[in-house]
Structure 1
């Protein structure tokens, strides 16, 4: 691209401050997901006296444990849409900082609250953590809309969001060792929360909402980014404007994006929440107690993020396919390949657990392709309101994440019956099919007309207008 060649002549085409910002966001999302899953892995040790007899063990039944594990999402859904609006008003740096810092502090308090108020206070803390993390994804999208050049938008999004898999892998792989050590299960919360506080300090000093607000960036790199995303875009981010809510919900491309995100979450979270039960009862494999097998699908997804990103870079560099085709191609890979492997998983014989593990790993790993598909499409449609759009779709999608396991409980009355599980896999595959088909047909990468609404009049102008009307 000519623009890239000019930038290369300026000596800034390689690693720049924008990549450092992406790394900080990657680290932030790694922390956020380690904080999200720490209870999922710690609760085993918290309720088992044999894991480490030197530390308290709580007599929580399965119903209480399920309540605790789901309570995070009660708060998480609530702050998705407000999180996007706040990120646009105050800047992605501020809202991402607050979201992860508060969540980290709550994590550090978890062992103390468990000792003081048992599961009830822990449940309250998890709701509070969900409320704080509800701002993380909208903030990340807002930051990407400011820092990622259009031609690298998919890659930047992939690099940043791969942090969620990295944090999950590290937490799941290390938690068992930590819980059984002299530090005990409370250290799972202390360590993950402490790392979050350290990240917040680093982000406070070196993070920036926009290139214009960054003191480290060179004039050449700043000019390149702002020209790529649109002249004056960075300066207008915080201008007071009326959010075009009605136009959001009357735009076919955005309505399809909501549906695609929702169907994605149905399949993805059905898989990740129910597969351990399926593997234990049908294949007699307790992968929850096996840290390597538990982390394997997430590790595959983390690695595939970089594989797909490299492929995308080659395609973009050689201008092989236009942006709309690229988005739909990668989204189709991320949804329709798992659709096929899920159906295949439903027909695997109960004595072939190795094949089941391979199919499970492929299903989750290939999902990484969606980071170059629908998951960055919010920024394509509206760079100015990317965080708000992400908040809306993620809110709807996480409601589906809550409903999906309930449907599993309704259909699977006998957890040892592979035929009932096959119905669950068919449903998830059907959602993958429909969601991506709609995205392929109706999805768009065109910046929408409502991306640049008229600024609201200033206070002085409103007062002047009122005085004129009085006279």
Structure 2
């Protein structure tokens, strides 16, 4: 095909870019999948408040912290294998397998808790974590295949917004469900909805445009040509068969900085997510019904700000702001500003519950800026190994998901003591400071040479090509 024909087709395809296509349907399915995944992930945060009001579940704070962190012990195990398996067998297969097993386990959670106490509950949550560990590496693999660079930040963010939506729905309704139908209903409903989604995704989902039965030829070519323009070398073999250059991953300053800020974000997000219900109940004195509704407010703010940040990123893209600046700008909004708010939260008096709720909402809500920062940065660095990179950084970062709740169990010996919670907030602020600081210094949004380890001669992009990538990649 001649260059003139390519340019003609490119203009025609970009003109059609504003319409809805199969890639948007796939992103919607991914949104729903992460919604049910996070609903099953966070349901215990409120359910455990209701459970521990019953005589048979009068657990200490340390046991509750172990139960809440057990999910992440399993979650860490499958991160790196998930990225490799998604490339080999297709991300659809890994997602369907993981969420189907997790959904069934959720349905059986109440009976397991009754029969085996907190020990069996920990085991079930660990297995659920193993199953959900495939999600983010598989999602990155799918987004890398389905989304053209100019839509990467927006459509990628839309897919990951399912996490906030699932968190909102579960936190907002679980307290009401527990009060009306018992805490068991929380797990029955979230697990049942998960089973329904798995069936729907099995019928319509696809690992790549080439494997989809529903995509048009024009849209398929639109995606292929847009992705081809992003790189200046042609792969010598299919990307699914490329061997990951492990040493290059762990000696890349850009990837190490990404991992550092990922760790900081995960520490803050999951520490607050798992502990906000306890903080609301014991420090602010909210009952479980209002506790659940108030606990969902920060994630409602996060969802709303995600839409705003996507709109802002498109404005920056039209003004030809560099992709590197855009990633670091949004990551700073998502970590440095919440850092300052957490310090302020530590000095809020116990009776100033309204101010505490406002600061919590802003702290969690502004963290959504990171979705247009480091979250999508794996694909910037290496479209071919995006899922593997996400598996590595998410696996390391989710050690923070384990450590965060455990630290709360050690520090907060008196749940009603606001000064002990202040220590938790200050530690989280320190993580944000270090993580985003490293990302600002060493972070990058340029495709790395090791994206194609088979290429004999890697060429540095020309200034014109780099400018084009930055304009398209936001």
TM-score (norm 1): 0.87
CA, structure 1 residues 412+127, in 2 after alignment: closer, same or farther (shift >3 Å)?
closer
After superposing on structure 2, the runs of 4+ consecutive aligned residues of structure 1 that deviate more than 6 Å are: 1-4, 231-235
- Give the aligned partner of residue 90 of structure 1: 89
Q: Tell me if the contact between 2:347 and 2:422 (Cα under 8 Å) persists in the aligned partners.
A: yes
Q: Tell me if the contact between 1:12 and 1:220 (Cα under 8 Å) persists in the aligned partners.
A: no
Give deviations 1:95-118, integer Å, cap 9, x for gaps: 111111110111122233334444
SS of the counterpart of 2:153? Answer: helix
SS of the counterpart of 2:384? Answer: coil
Distance, in Å, in 2 between the alignment partners of 1:444 and 1:315 is 17
Long gaps (5+) in structure 2: 1-6, 456-474
Distance, in Å, in 2 between the alignment partners of 1:108 and 1:86 is 27
Distance, in Å, in 1 between the alignment partners of 2:188 and 2:422 is 41
Q: Tell me if the contact between 1:146 and 1:234 (Cα under 8 Å) persists in the aligned partners.
A: no
Aligned pair 1:206/2:204, yes or no?
yes
- Give the aligned partner of residue 103 of structure 1: 102
**Larger relative contact order (Cα-Cα within 8 Å, sequence gap ≥ 6):** 2
CA, structure 1 residues 244+291, in 2 after alignment: closer, same or farther (shift >3 Å)?
same
Q: Tell me if the contact between 2:382 and 2:451 (Cα under 8 Å) persists in the aligned partners.
A: yes
SS of the counterpart of 1:320? Answer: coil
Distance, in Å, in 2 between the alignment partners of 1:171 and 1:267 is 20
- Give the aligned partner of residue 13 of structure 2: 7
CA, structure 1 residues 378+119, in 2 after alignment: closer, same or farther (shift >3 Å)?
same
SS of the counterpart of 1:243? Answer: coil
CA, structure 1 residues 91+70, in 2 after alignment: closer, same or farther (shift >3 Å)?
same
- Give the aligned partner of residue 337 of structure 1: 337
Give deviations 1:425-454, integer Å, cap 9, x for gaps: 333222212211211111011111111223
CA, structure 1 residues 235+217, in 2 after alignment: closer, same or farther (shift >3 Å)?
farther
- Cα offset, 1:41, TM superposition: 2.4
- Give the aligned partner of residue 4 of structure 2: none
Number of residue pairs matched by the alignment: 444
Identify the match of residue 58 of structure 1 among 56, 63, 77.
Answer: 56
How do 1:415-430 and structure 2 match up within 5 A? 415-430=415-430
- Give the aligned partner of residue 306 of structure 2: 305
How do 1:202-351 and structure 2 match up within 5 A? 202-230=200-228, 236-238=238-240, 240-285=241-286, 290-316=291-317, 318-351=318-351
Of 39-48 and 254-263, deviating more is 39-48
Give deviations 1:251-271, integer Å, cap 9, x for gaps: 110111111111122222333
CA, structure 1 residues 424+35, in 2 after alignment: closer, same or farther (shift >3 Å)?
closer
- Cα offset, 1:335, TM superposition: 0.9
Give deviations 1:362-383, integer Å, cap 9, x for gaps: 0100001110000110111111
- Cα offset, 1:61, TM superposition: 1.6
- Give the aligned partner of residue 373 of structure 1: 373
Distance, in Å, in 2 between the alignment partners of 1:61 and 1:187 is 21
Q: Tell me if the contact between 1:211 and 1:234 (Cα under 8 Å) persists in the aligned partners.
A: no
Give deviations 1:29-54, integer Å, cap 9, x for gaps: 001011112222233444445xxxxx
Long gaps (5+) in structure 1: 50-56, 456-471
How do 1:171-190 and structure 2 match up within 5 A? 171-181=170-180, 183-190=181-188
Distance, in Å, in 2 between the alignment partners of 1:314 and 1:363 is 24
CA, structure 1 residues 412+103, in 2 after alignment: closer, same or farther (shift >3 Å)?
closer
Aligned pair 1:16/2:13, yes or no?
no
Distance, in Å, in 2 between the alignment partners of 1:81 and 1:209 is 18
Distance, in Å, in 1 between the alignment partners of 2:189 and 2:284 is 34
Of 105-114 and 277-286, deviating more is 277-286
SS of the counterpart of 2:319? Answer: coil
CA, structure 1 residues 124+30, in 2 after alignment: closer, same or farther (shift >3 Å)?
same
TM-score (norm 2): 0.87
Q: Tell me if the contact between 1:226 and 1:234 (Cα under 8 Å) persists in the aligned partners.
A: no
